[in-house]
């Protein structure tokens, strides 16, 4: 299997991406230092693939505030059947919109599985491509986010998309 990685700058900081023969495998969201991203990726940079170049462009454009499509092939080889369902529903959340963990569970046909949905999203190796930042708690709070910068990054991503969270009322605008 051919696997290549890349570390690149965005207006939000340094990102890292890994792609292989089956698609994009991993994305590291922006961090302050290039070294942090390199340490998290632990994949040697090899010759660049067309997929890697396209993925970098769409990510850079996203962080410039452009509406982009993250419709690139993804390597889903390590996903469980439950994760596949969670990620499929999550990928359908439009730019600038949010859903709750409970709504995702209901759409999957497993009402009451909101914690399991949260757990699956916490293991998401492809944020932005699988926009887990668009999933919030039922009371309107942010919930968790497994990026190294945690919910601060989730809030930045939602703000970039024009989503304002009001946790006390549970409303989003």
Which active-site residues does the annotation give? 132
Residues found in the chain = 173
Q: Are 70 and 87 in contact (CB under 8 A)?
A: no
- The beta strand positions in the chain, using DSSP E, are 3-10, 13-20, 23-31, 99-100, 135-136, 165-166, 171-172
CA distance linking residue 100 with residue 159, whole number of Å? 17
Crossing angle of helices 114-122/81-91, nearest 10°? 90
């Amino acid at each position: 299997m051919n696997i290549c990685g890349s570390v690149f700058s965005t207006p939000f900081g340094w990102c890292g991406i890994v792609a292989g023969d089956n698609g994009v495998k991993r994305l590291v969201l922006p961090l302050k230092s290039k070294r942090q991203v390199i340490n998290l990726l632990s994949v040697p940079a090899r010759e660049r693939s067309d997929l890697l170049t396209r993925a970098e462009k769409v990510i850079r454009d996203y962080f410039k505030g452009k509406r982009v499509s993250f419709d690139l092939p993804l390597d889903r080889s390590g996903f469980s059947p439950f994760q596949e369902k969670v990620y499929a529903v999550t990928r359908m959340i439009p730019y600038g919109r949010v859903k709750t963990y409970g709504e995702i569970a209901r759409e999957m046909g497993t009402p009451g599985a909101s914690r399991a949905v949260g757990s699956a999203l916490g293991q998401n190796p492809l944020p932005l491509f699988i926009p887990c930042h668009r999933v919030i708690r039922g009371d309107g709070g942010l919930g968790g986010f497994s990026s190294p910068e945690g919910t601060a990054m989730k809030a930045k991503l939602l703000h970039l998309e024009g989503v304002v969270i009001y946790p006390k009322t549970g409303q989003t605008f």
